């Protein structure tokens, strides 16, 4: 049996960004109304940039929202590849400036040196998250679940107990730190945001080719909403 997967296709990326921001903002408002607080875990990379800019303008009580990352490249915020830098530059602006940000990176030589600290930081956040947003690479990775990753099996183990793991892989560039699959699936709402025909094809092929994203498609814990535009 596979996850419940709902596909939402849009004519262009701006329409997608608008609809997804509207949906996510509503989930955050509902969480605040129900629990007094909301948690949002976002992905890095290039795809979410427009969506972040739209979401940042959403009207809600951002002072009650905690934002963290699904994964991070092990670089400081002075590096253009830092996902934290992108989140600060694009999402934590305008109304969303009031949100609290919990980064995965800290100033340590390797993700392994910081792993206990980062795990403790993430474990302090409410579980489940209210909203988790995933992206996907052309190689079928999501979060930092890269094909051939050194901790891929541990990260994908549904009975794993660590929230955060380090990851090194040929396709990853620098060492990474990533939430585990069970920590990602512990979410009231789970989205995959992808753009382009190439990524649509990768997603369609994912289970047959056993790409890492297939682990999200095959689990039965958490329904997945896929937002796609050309
Ligand atoms: O830090 C990262 O690289 C991400 O969190 C990663 O999982 C991303 O979502 C995909 O690589 C897609 O990246 P693009 O949107 O740049 O294609």
Give the residue, out of 137, 145, 198, 203, with the most ligand 1 atoms within 8 A of its beta carbon, to mutate for a pocket test. Answer: 137
Q: pLDDT band at 3, cuts 50/70/90?
A: confident
Q: Is 90 exceeded by the pLDDT of residue 1?
A: no
Q: Residue 201 has what pLDDT?
A: 98
φ/ψ of 185, rounded to 5, equals: -70, -20
Q: What is the mean pLDDT of residues 204-221?
A: 97
Cα angle: 62, vertex 193, 126; to 5 degrees? 40
Residue 34 in this model has a pLDDT that exceeds 70: yes
The stretch 183-212 carries a mean pLDDT of: 98
20 and 226 in contact (C-beta within 8 Å)? Answer: no
pTM of the predicted protein model: 0.98
The predicted pLDDT at position 2 comes to 83
pLDDT at 164 over 70: yes
E-assigned strand segments in 88-197: 100-102, 129-134, 164-167, 176-179, 187-195
Minimum-distance ligand 1 atom for the alpha carbon of 83: 1
- Please name each of the domains of the chain with its CATH number: 5-229 (3.40.50.1360)
Does the CB atom of residue 212 touch ligand 1 within 6 A?
no
Interval between CA 195 and ligand 1 midpoint (Å): 12
pLDDT tens-digit readout, 35-91: 999 999 999 999 999 999 999 999 999 999 999 999 999 999 999 999 999 999 999
- Please tell me the total number of residues recorded for the chain in this structure: 230
Q: What is the pLDDT of residue 211?
A: 98
Q: Backbone dihedral region of 76: left (phi > 0), alpha (psi from -120 to 50 degrees) or beta?
A: beta
Residue 14, CA distances (Å) to 48, 102, 138, 229 in order: 11, 27, 21, 9
């Amino acid at each position: 049996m596979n996850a419940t997967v709902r596909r939402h296709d849009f004519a262009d990326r701006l329409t997608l960004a608008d609809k997804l921001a509207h949906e996510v903002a509503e989930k955050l408002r509902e969480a605040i109304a129900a629990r007094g607080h909301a948690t949002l875990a976002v992905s890095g990379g290039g795809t979410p940039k427009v969506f972040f800019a739209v979401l940042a303008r959403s009207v809600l009580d951002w002072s009650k929202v905690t934002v963290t990352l699904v994964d991070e490249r092990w670089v400081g915020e002075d590096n253009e590849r830092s996902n934290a830098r992108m989140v600060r530059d694009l999402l934590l602006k305008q109304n969303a400036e009031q949100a609290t940000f919990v980064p995965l990176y800290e100033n340590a030589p390797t993700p392994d040196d910081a792993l206990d600290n980062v795990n403790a930081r993430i474990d302090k956040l409410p579980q489940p998250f209210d909203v988790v947003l995933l992206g996907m690479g052309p190689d079928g990775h999501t979060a930092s679940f890269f094909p051939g990753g050194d901790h891929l099996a541990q990260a994908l183990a549904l009975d794993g107990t660590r929230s955060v793991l380090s990851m090194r892989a040929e396709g990853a560039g620098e060492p990474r730190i990533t939430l585990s699959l069970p920590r990602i699936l512990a979410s009231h709402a789970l989205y995959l945001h992808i753009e382009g025909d190439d990524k649509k094809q990768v997603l369609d092929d994912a289970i047959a080719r056993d790409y890492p994203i297939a682990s999200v498609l095959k689990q039965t814990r958490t329904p997945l909403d896929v937002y796609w535009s050309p």
